[in-house]
Amino acid sequence: MLIETPTHRPGTPETTTPASRRRHDDAPDTAALFARMAELEEGPEREAVRDELVTLWLPMAHRIAGR
């Protein structure tokens, strides 16, 4: 049985434009590091890149954990 589920709550205005991506101060630009890590084989260099990524994302992790 198929049930239709509304995508908005009653009393809230419907948006006609797509939601913009929210940018947080604690969201680092790490796309290049993720791409580099994906290309590396297991080893000390890959571990160093992974450690750097973890360190850069810690502020956001702390913010989310505090909710």
pLDDT tens digits, residue range 28-51? Answer: 899 999 999 999 999 999 999 999
Whether the Cβ atoms of residue 53 and residue 34 lie closer than 8 Å to each other: yes
Residue 11 lies in a domain: no
Residue 24 lies in a domain: no
Residue 65: the pLDDT is 92
Looking at the predicted structure, is the pLDDT value of residue 67 above 70?
yes
Q: How far apart are CA 54 and CA 67, in angstroms?
A: 20
Residue 19 lies in a domain: no
Q: How many domains does the chain have?
A: 1
- Residue 44 structural domain: 31-65
Residue 15 lies in a domain: no
